[in-house]
Structure 1
Amino acid sequence: MDTTRNTALEAWMNEHGYSSNSLAEAVNMALERLTGRTGGLDGSSVRGWKAGRVTWPKSATRKALEVVTGLPATDLGFVPRGRSLSIPAPLQEGPDTMKRRTLVGGIAAAAAAAAAPGTASTRRIGMSDVDRLQKRFAEIIASDHRHGGQRGIEQQAARLADEALNLQNAGSAAQRVRGNLYAAAAAFRSSAMWAAIDGRRYDDAKAHMREAHALAEMSGDHAIKFRIWSHTGTMYRHMGRPADALAANEVARNLHITRRDPLFASLGLARQAAIYGAAQDRTSTCRAFDRAQDAMLRADPDAYRPVWMLAFYDQAELDSLALSAYLSLGDYETAEFHAHRSLAALRPHMARSWAITTTRLAHAQLAQGDADAATTTAMKVPAYAATQHARVSRMLQEFGAALRATAPGSSTVQTWTEHAAAWRTAA
């Protein structure tokens, strides 16, 4: 049978750097995203397209290919059955028209097509749109550090993730811009995930986690991948699943960014140490914290880092994680040491962290038998955090129970009971 070579598809592949195998893989991934079933294409399938042996692929395959390329199948040299092969391919359009119509190579476009199908717009999406989203992300980060764990923060972050995704179909954009839009959506979704973790809404957190992981993979941004996997490890630690926590945190620690930037390595090690503490592995806890401290000291303070990293990870956070670990291990004196170091170094905007660290300090003091000092410390927690932040509220309830067991009927217990009641009234 005579065949006419598909030069339009070949030209697109050459322009965008695709081999037959890599295009087959991208289309398979798009098929899975669109249909829920993994595609069965390989390099020979694509070579068949280029050779003209297949002039009109199956409908699902065509849709996936259009998602990957951002072009209709006819623009790629394919001809519907029953039409003449001599129909001129629109690939003859001028370069400006082609630039407007080309969206992005790779599976990244799949989620945009699924999230907001519709007619393409002539609007050009650029880095100014990304910059606007990044400013909103900075606001989410700031709100989280002030309040933490609130459902309103979770919902706002989720809405902004959807807004970033909707921009994918709002017009044409360069591949770099689309990658940044996916990274922004992943960042917002990871903040929604963190707010749910912090509020102990773990089912919600897991739903955000799944979406965040998919978006991060499409963005190719290793920093946001690190954040999401690291959050996943923290989530499982709070859920009392240290084996799962270690597995997730190991994924974060094995990302290339931890080899490029010692500060990311330090955070991964510090959170790993907290997980070891929860697992009652003292030796591994101490070793991981030593390595985390060493990595932090090696980190370049002037290196570029994402806003979420700059906003929270420093010596105070490392000591806060050490406080959590040593509390879990029952080493209350060491826990208290790290609590004081963390509180001394905390930056003013870290209101949520201050409340958590102060509450943990009270636990460490009480466990050492100093009920009066512990109660004085616990009473410093602001009423808002004590009643509205799920983690702080629970830790303070546990503190009250431990205080009553330690000093039943004492004036200290009475003082604490009255203060807790005043918190509830103020809230």
Structure 2
Amino acid sequence: MDAIRNTVLEAWMTEHGYSSNSLADAVNSAVEKLTGRIGGLDGSSIRAWKAGRVTWPKSATRTALENVTGLPAVALGFVPRSRPPSTPASSQQEEPDMKRRTLIGGIAVAAAAAATPTTASPRRIGMSDVNRLNKRFAEIIASDHRHGGQPRIEEQAAALADEALNLQSAGSATQRVRSGLYASGAAFRSSAMWAAIDGRRYDAAKAHMREAQALAEMSGDQAIKFRIWSHAGTMYRHMGRPADAIAANDVARNLHLTRRDPLFACLGHARHAATLGVTGDATAVKHTLGCARDAFERADPDLDRPAWIAGVRNGAELETLALSAYFRLGSFEQAESHAHRSLALLPPQTQRDRAINTSRLAQAQLGQGAPDAATATAMSVPAAVATQHARVTRMLREFGIALRTSVPGSSAVNAWSEHTASWRVAA
């Protein structure tokens, strides 16, 4: 008898975005959780299931598949082995492929009914829900680029993290979907964490960090783990705790993701260099930025990556962090060079980053003894950003203090005083 294709399994895989290889990997991991030993499936094993050459997988494999899909094996088109039927001979003459088609048709109807919300069955949570959350995450990233660490962005991101978690208990879902929901929750929490860091609300940032780390572990998503630990390094650097910042950066840099994708390695090295700038180790800064540059040049620019790493892809983040590192070292000429390069690479809509880098450029120019040029640069920061973003406000306040100290009573000081007075009137 010719094998009959398992069209129910094929339809399920298509709906949930699985290839033969990715389903084999997921089932192998589920087997490992059940037995302590990773499963031995590969893409050809799944193709044998789809082709109908295997109609009833072995016990451990079958249980693992059910754990991955959230459905019993029979609802995926598999047929249990049974004793030979004790029916009359006339019944046994029925076409076997007709029996198979009837069974598959019945299972397909049952599976479709199970996926349809009714008063008697829970909602089915799918990848469409995860994709919807991912679109909201992209909106949070865009809002952060425009406005920075505003409390409303922190609150919105935290609320979306809760929404992702609420979906976990809203209905049935596959292991892949549940992992995606945990990853979304971790991503939103990491954005809430970043908004709090950017707004210098460090107690809130640490609380978001703890929740984000727990969710990331449950998701198994290496990219979001990298983002959280890398943000932790930045948080500790801003808090004046370089030893903790280095430790957090090391966790991010040692994730195996950085070996698979050099762009993540580039960001890890660059943020490490910014922390080393705080320690005053110029040799280490130069070496680490060299590693970041090498990794950047090896990275494939066309790989599909999370939206939040877009600034690394075009080199803007590398230049920004090099600016920070050399500024902290007091190497103002090099800092100015990196500031100009970063501003040339940053998109116009990244208002927060442009304002921060412009403020650092002004301080670097002042450090080189050019108060008039520095003042003109500082005055180019838009008033709305200068007065509403905590980090930018602090940096420009520090610039004003340094300007008055270096050239008291000068025309540059007078111009700066008049300029900042207009901010107070506008506010």
TM superposition score normalised by structure 2:
0.74
Structure 2 unmatched ranges of 5 or more: 1-26, 38-66, 72-106
Report if aligned partners of 2:301, 2:313 keep a CA contact under 8 Å in 1: no
C-alpha deviations, 1:242-274, integer Å up to 9, x for none? Answer: 110010011001111100001000000000110
SS at match of 2:347: coil
The one-letter amino acid of 2:272's match is: Q
Deviation at 1:364, TM superposition (A): 0.2
- Cα distance in 1 for partners of 2:400, 2:345 equals 27
Query: In the alignment, does 2:140 pair up with 1:130?
Result: no
Deviation at 1:187, TM superposition (A): 0.3
C-alpha deviations, 1:271-324, integer Å up to 9, x for none? Answer: 011011011111110000011011111111111111111255531211111111
Report if aligned partners of 1:194, 1:231 keep a CA contact under 8 Å in 2: yes
C-alpha deviations, 1:174-209, integer Å up to 9, x for none? Answer: 111110000000000000000000000000000000
SS at match of 1:149: coil
> In structure 1, what is the equivalent of residue 31 of structure 2?
17
Distance change in 2, residues 1:190/1:313 (3 Å): farther
> In structure 2, what is the equivalent of residue 207 of structure 1?
207
The one-letter amino acid of 2:322's match is: A
- Cα distance in 1 for partners of 2:329, 2:113 equals 59
> In structure 1, what is the equivalent of residue 150 of structure 2?
150
C-alpha deviations, 1:209-240, integer Å up to 9, x for none? Answer: 00000000000000000000000001001111
Distance change in 2, residues 1:68/1:180 (3 Å): closer
- Cα distance in 2 for partners of 1:241, 1:68 equals 43
- Please give the residue correspondences for 1:3-402 in structure 2 after superposition, counting only pairs within 5 Å: 16-17=30-31, 122-311=122-311, 313-402=313-402
Identity %: 68
The one-letter amino acid of 1:200's match is: R
Distance change in 2, residues 1:404/1:326 (3 Å): same
The one-letter amino acid of 1:181's match is: L
Instruction: Report the aligned-residue RMSD.
Output: 2.7
Distance change in 2, residues 1:178/1:364 (3 Å): same
Report if aligned partners of 1:362, 1:374 keep a CA contact under 8 Å in 2: yes
Distance change in 2, residues 1:14/1:205 (3 Å): closer
Of structures 1 and 2, the larger Rg is shown by: 2
Distance change in 2, residues 1:345/1:68 (3 Å): closer
Name the count of aligned residue pairs. Answer: 334
The one-letter amino acid of 1:228's match is: I
SS at match of 1:381: coil
C-alpha deviations, 1:92-130, integer Å up to 9, x for none? Answer: xx99989999xxxxxxxxxxxxxxxxx996110011111
Report if aligned partners of 1:320, 1:357 keep a CA contact under 8 Å in 2: yes
> In structure 2, what is the equivalent of residue 422 of structure 1?
422
The one-letter amino acid of 1:17's match is: V
The one-letter amino acid of 1:402's match is: A
Report if aligned partners of 1:121, 1:172 keep a CA contact under 8 Å in 2: no
Stretch of structure 1 that moved more, 358-367 or 416-425 = 416-425
SS at match of 1:255: coil
C-alpha deviations, 1:65-100, integer Å up to 9, x for none? Answer: xx99999xxxxxxxxxxxxxxxxxxxxxx9998999
Report if aligned partners of 1:267, 1:292 keep a CA contact under 8 Å in 2: yes
- Cα distance in 2 for partners of 1:383, 1:236 equals 28
- Cα distance in 1 for partners of 2:129, 2:140 equals 17
- Cα distance in 2 for partners of 1:336, 1:320 equals 11
TM superposition score normalised by structure 1:
0.74
Report if aligned partners of 2:161, 2:186 keep a CA contact under 8 Å in 1: yes
SS at match of 2:212: helix
Distance change in 2, residues 1:196/1:364 (3 Å): same
Deviation at 1:426, TM superposition (A): 2.1
The one-letter amino acid of 1:337's match is: S
Structure 1 unmatched ranges of 5 or more: 1-12, 24-66, 72-93, 102-118
SS at match of 1:232: helix
SS at match of 2:211: helix
SS at match of 1:205: helix
Distance change in 2, residues 1:120/1:324 (3 Å): farther
Distance change in 2, residues 1:354/1:272 (3 Å): same
Report if aligned partners of 2:68, 2:176 keep a CA contact under 8 Å in 1: no
Report if aligned partners of 1:120, 1:169 keep a CA contact under 8 Å in 2: no
> In structure 2, what is the equivalent of residue 413 of structure 1?
413
Deviation at 1:423, TM superposition (A): 1.7
Report if aligned partners of 2:125, 2:167 keep a CA contact under 8 Å in 1: yes
The one-letter amino acid of 1:166's match is: N
Distance change in 2, residues 1:406/1:297 (3 Å): same
Report if aligned partners of 1:371, 1:412 keep a CA contact under 8 Å in 2: yes
Distance change in 2, residues 1:352/1:96 (3 Å): same
- Cα distance in 1 for partners of 2:241, 2:112 equals 49
Report if aligned partners of 2:122, 2:171 keep a CA contact under 8 Å in 1: yes
Deviation at 1:18, TM superposition (A): 5.0
Report if aligned partners of 2:263, 2:295 keep a CA contact under 8 Å in 1: yes
Distance change in 2, residues 1:194/1:15 (3 Å): closer
Report if aligned partners of 1:126, 1:173 keep a CA contact under 8 Å in 2: yes
SS at match of 2:301: coil
- Cα distance in 2 for partners of 1:368, 1:171 equals 62
SS at match of 1:17: helix
Report if aligned partners of 1:100, 1:172 keep a CA contact under 8 Å in 2: no
